Amino acid sequence: MEIKERQAMLQFSLRFSRALFSYRAQLWFFLLPFLIGTAVLIVMPMTATFFLGLTDYDLFSPPEWNDFQNYQNWLGDRLFQRALYNSVWFMLIAVPLRVAGALVLALFLNRSGRAFGFARATVYLPTIVPEVAYALVWLLILNPGFGAVNLLLDALHLPTVAWTLVPFTARASIVVMWLFQLGEGFVLMLAALQLIPHELLEAAAIDGANRVQRFRHIILPFMVPALLLLTFRDIALSFQGVFVAGILTTETGPYYTTYFMPHYVVDEAFALFRYGYASATTSLIYLVTLLTVIGLFVLVGRRRDDGVE
Amino acid sequence: MLRQVRLRALLGAVVLWLGLALASVACGAPASTQAPVSNATAPATIRLAVNEVPEELATFQSIVNAFEQANLNIKVKLENIPDDDEFTKKLAADIAAQTPPDVFLMNYRRIGPFALKGALQSVDKYLNTSQVIQPGDFYPMALDAYKLKGELQCVPLNLSQLGVYYNAKLFQAAGVPLPKNDWTWNDFLAAARALTQDTNGDGKPDQYGAGISTLTIRLMPFVWAHGGDIVDNPERPTSLTLDKGAALEAFQWFVALQTKEHVVPDKTAEATQSSQARFEAGTLAMFFQSRVLTPELRETVKDKFVWDIAPLPQDKNRATILHSDGFCITNGSKNKDAAWKLVEYIAGPQGQTALAKVGRNMPALQAVANSPAFLKSNPPANNQVYLDMAPYVRPVPLMTTWLEVESAVNKEIKRAFYGDASVEEAAQAAVETTREYFKQNLADLGSP
């Protein structure tokens, strides 16, 4: 009786420990910190932001419900409309350029050799410069009098431009600054390229497919998941990534042309103390991002169904 | 069976994580169980939040150290965030989280929202019974700037004001008489014209007569000097009035310094090298700034050239604009009595004297301003200018949304100043875009 019990206990604890150290349990165990982190640092603040967006809240006294008044305010708020227009403009121009840039650079630099290794490091470097330092360096590069760009143009006897002082070039400068920080996307593209089975490309080459055909029918289809991932990520980042550059390099000008959504949200929340309204606007940023991502997903999904596969 | 065991293992892991999380929370908890210390004679630690550049932070630290020497039972934690906007954000977040500093130093233009939302302890009762400082010790204008709804919200540290820093060497080289205390707009313009010079003959000036930031707070004293005002009623403003009468004329005169007279750097020149950098390099003769620039000029100019301070030129009136910081006690402070002790020390004769010596302030205490601690705090040699101008100092209107008004008007001034819009168009846009902020301020203030 006693022995049987002991055996049962032993068996149970064996099973328990086996279960505890099973692949699945380990998976959950290691996943858990990230799940908790995501819940506490992302899901909870997002939910709180959404609900605060339905209230009047000034940080000092408790929030009060206000019947979607914040959402109605958007209609008459010209500063908000300017910021939204600027941010959407930026997203539509900068995201495709940056994703395409990462892809093209990865295609060219996905070769062995010391020079290519150096080139890859060079492409990645601007990405790891701290944001404030990066913005200040560009302020020097774009300086109308002694900036590197204008000195170069001057040496070539080309007309110079006061880059940060003209509405179009100021916005374009912010786009270019953002383009140079494509290092992470570039690494992702390199990894995705190296996952493409080499045999396929060789077989296609033997069958007489030229470079363009190989890219169109083999490389691109393989890259779609990575490209989509990168695009979604850049869409989300495009709404935030312009904050420091907009303040330091162009001072949100000339005349509001580089005044973006994050500037607006920070002004509303911490200068005017309209925290509820700022929360509603942040929720709108989430929504615009989400809708863009869903739209793109549907679009690409449909194309793929029609495709060769 | 196995599935159940797995589930149990998973649960075990969850419990473990939750346990750890709870333990860490529990460890952090006991702080809140301490009873608040309300008696200043009991040992207390108070937090003082400031936003200062490193050189002046050192002075604040030495004042705080001296205070601790004199009040052995009070410890002071000095916290610095050297950026106005970041400082305001951090302060608002701290107040929202109910962990505010006990005392903070803030420009009077920024206190409106804090005062109105009840985040500040009014200091009337402390100042009226203080053995160290009395209301009559201060310049009345400095105190008035901190009064909201009839209550004094903070204790002023300084009565600094906008003035004209000038490079005496450039004046002498050009044979231009140095600015007098009663100089006029025309005197100023004549000097600026003579001092703007193209020394290398490339058609662009290499030396500018003047430099001024395109800010609302720079334009305002010119509007006042011309007999106008930027708002309809400074006590209870309902609208900007930059688009009419004397205000518009002053705005036009101000903008013409660039668009017509070309005595200040144009847009491209300013972006290439700022007016302040040009002044410090000795290639710009007159620069408009408050007293706050003095410690920096002492460091950067050294003996490159002699510089001094002149009052703003006068037109129909004499006028200049108040630049003042005050010490405020938060309503959430657990040690208000100890906090007041610190405020009356640092805003009192000891603190103001120490800060006058490093050059940062024109003191708000009349006795200190008239003492050698300030008058002999040279350069600038002519500190008397600040005392003479004290009766003509005017504050910005105290509004909960004032900074937003400033920010919107700044953009319009900049646009007009650099010739991207006409003055009338910019003034009109300024009135339109700020309408909402005036409305919100009135809603915040409630009925008079």
pLDDT tens-digit map of A1-11 = 578 888 888 88
Phi, psi of B51 (to 5 degrees): -125, 100
Give the domain extent around A179.
82-131+164-300
For chain A, the average pLDDT equals: 90
Model confidence pLDDT, tens digit, residues A81-98: 999 999 999 999 999 999
Percentage of chain A surpassing pLDDT 70? 97
Q: Read off the pLDDT band of A14 (50, 70, 90).
A: confident
Domain membership flag for residue A24: no
Domain membership flag for residue A97: yes
With CA atoms as reference, the chain B residue closest to A19 would be: B6
CATH code, A196: 1.10.3720.10
Residues B327 and B324: their CA atoms lie apart, in Å, by: 10
Nearest-by-Cβ selection for A25 from B10, B269, B401 = B10
Cite the DSSP H helix spans in B45-101: 54-70, 84-96
Phi, psi of A26 (to 5 degrees): -60, -40
Domain membership flag for residue A258: yes
Please identify among residues 429-448 of chain B the ones whose CB lies closer than 8 Å to any CB of chain A: 433, 436, 440
Strands B320-323 and B393-394: parallel
- Whether residues A253 and B85 touch (CB distance < 8 A) is answered with no
Closest chain B C-alpha to A127 CA, distance in angstroms? 25
- pLDDT for A62 equals 85
| B161 touches A: beta carbon within 8 Å | no
Strands B44-50 and B103-107: parallel
- Report residue B429 as tokens: 């846009």
- pLDDT for B30 equals 39
Residues A290 and A272: their CA atoms lie apart, in Å, by: 28
Residues B393 and B414: their CA atoms lie apart, in Å, by: 24
Q: What is the CATH number assigned to the segment(s) B44-159+324-393?
A: 3.40.190.10
| B86 touches A: beta carbon within 8 Å | no
Give the number of domains in chain A. 1
Q: CA-based angle B189:B408:B286, to the nearest 5?
A: 25
Q: List the one residue out of A202, A244, A59 whose CA is nearest residue B89.
A: A59
Q: At what angle do helices A69-76 and A78-109 cross, to 10 degrees?
A: 90
Q: Which of A17, A26, A40, A59 to mutate to test the interface with B (most CBs of B within 10 A)?
A: A59
Residue B14 reports pLDDT greater than 70: no
- Whether residues A59 and B14 touch (CB distance < 8 A) is answered with no
Closest chain A C-alpha to B260 CA, distance in angstroms? 20
- Whether residues B117 and A271 touch (CB distance < 8 A) is answered with no
Closest chain A C-alpha to B161 CA, distance in angstroms? 24
Nearest-by-Cβ selection for B267 from A79, A165, A273 = A165
Residue range B9-24: mean pLDDT, rounded: 45
Domain membership flag for residue A58: no
- Whether residues A19 and B2 touch (CB distance < 8 A) is answered with yes
Q: Read off the pLDDT band of A259 (50, 70, 90).
A: very high
Nearest-by-Cβ selection for B404 from A144, A146, A272 = A272
ipTM above 0.85, yes or no: no
Q: Read off the pLDDT band of B18 (50, 70, 90).
A: very low
- Whether residues A32 and B6 touch (CB distance < 8 A) is answered with no
| B10 touches A: beta carbon within 8 Å | yes
Q: Which amino acid is at B389?
A: M
What are the counts of helices (DSSP H) followed by strands (DSSP E) for chain B? 20, 15
Beta bridge partners of B104: B49, B328
Closest chain B C-alpha to A70 CA, distance in angstroms? 14
Residues A99 and A108: their CA atoms lie apart, in Å, by: 14
Residue range B85-106: mean pLDDT, rounded: 90
- pLDDT for A49 equals 94
Model confidence pLDDT, tens digit, residues B312-357: 999 999 999 999 999 999 999 999 999 999 999 999 999 999 999 9
- Whether residues B17 and A33 touch (CB distance < 8 A) is answered with yes
Domain membership flag for residue A35: no
Domain membership flag for residue A72: no
Cβ contacts of residue A225 below 8 Å, gap of 6+? A192
| B420 touches A: beta carbon within 8 Å | yes
User: By CB neighbour count within 10 A (0-12 exposed, 13-18 middle, 19+ buried), where does B123 fall?
Assistant: buried
Percentage of chain B surpassing pLDDT 90? 74
Closest chain A C-alpha to B415 CA, distance in angstroms? 7
Residues B339 and B67: their CA atoms lie apart, in Å, by: 12
Residue B254 reports pLDDT greater than 90: yes
Cβ contacts of residue A133 below 8 Å, gap of 6+? none
Residues A71 and A60: their CA atoms lie apart, in Å, by: 22
Q: Which of B10, B90, B121, B270 to mutate to test the interface with A (most CBs of A within 10 A)?
A: B10
Nearest-by-Cβ selection for B117 from A19, A28, A58 = A58
Phi, psi of B145 (to 5 degrees): -65, -20
Asked if B425 and B431 touch (Cβ cutoff 8 Å), the reply is no
Residue B1 reports pLDDT greater than 50: no
Q: Read off the pLDDT band of A304 (50, 70, 90).
A: low
Asked if B239 and B172 touch (Cβ cutoff 8 Å), the reply is no
Contacts of B22 in chain A (CB under 8 A): none
Cβ contacts of residue B30 below 8 Å, gap of 6+? none
Contacts of A165 in chain B (CB under 8 A): 267-268, 271, 418
Model confidence pLDDT, tens digit, residues B212-242: 999 999 999 999 999 999 999 988 899 999 9
Check residues A20 and B180 and name the one with the higher pLDDT.
Answer: B180
Contacts of B88 in chain A (CB under 8 A): 270-271
- pLDDT for B22 equals 42
- pLDDT for A149 equals 94
Asked if B286 and B263 touch (Cβ cutoff 8 Å), the reply is no
| B97 touches A: beta carbon within 8 Å | no
Contacts of A58 in chain B (CB under 8 A): 113, 117
- Report residue B176 as tokens: 């231009």
CB–CB contacts below 8 A, A to B? 94
Domain membership flag for residue A69: no
The secondary structure of B343-354 as a DSSP string is HHHHSSHHHHHH
* Residue A155 CA to its chain's centroid (Å): 37
Q: What is the CATH number assigned to the segment(s) B161-321+396-445?
A: 3.40.190.10
Nearest-by-Cβ selection for A19 from B5, B95, B404 = B5
Residue range A108-120: mean pLDDT, rounded: 92
Domains B44-159+324-393 and B161-321+396-445 share a fold: yes
Domain membership flag for residue A21: no
| B403 touches A: beta carbon within 8 Å | yes
Distances (CA, A) of A179 to A34, A98, A227, A254, B432: 30, 5, 16, 21, 36
Q: Read off the pLDDT band of A305 (50, 70, 90).
A: low
The residue written with tokens 């708002």 in the block is B231
Asked if A73 and A217 touch (Cβ cutoff 8 Å), the reply is no
- pLDDT for B448 equals 63
Domain boundaries, chain B: 44-159+324-393, 161-321+396-445
Residues B311 and B298: their CA atoms lie apart, in Å, by: 19
Residue A102 reports pLDDT greater than 90: yes
Percentage of chain B surpassing pLDDT 70? 90
Model confidence pLDDT, tens digit, residues B122-141: 999 999 999 999 999 999 99
For chain B, the average pLDDT equals: 89
Residue B295 reports pLDDT greater than 70: yes
- Whether residues B5 and A254 touch (CB distance < 8 A) is answered with no
Please identify among residues 359-398 of chain B the ones whose CB lies closer than 8 Å to any CB of chain A: none
Model confidence pLDDT, tens digit, residues B404-429: 899 999 999 999 999 999 999 999 99
User: By CB neighbour count within 10 A (0-12 exposed, 13-18 middle, 19+ buried), where does B139 fall?
Assistant: buried
Distances (CA, A) of A262 to A49, A59, A83, A84, A270: 15, 19, 8, 10, 12
Residues B310 and A82: their CA atoms lie apart, in Å, by: 42
Q: Which of A132, A140, A272, A274 to mutate to test the interface with B (most CBs of B within 10 A)?
A: A272
- pLDDT for B38 equals 42
Residue A27 reports pLDDT greater than 70: yes
Chain A residues bordering chain B (beta-carbon distance below 8 Å): 15-16, 19-20, 22, 24-25, 28-29, 32-33, 36, 58-61, 77-79, 143-146, 162, 164-165, 253-256, 266-267, 270-273
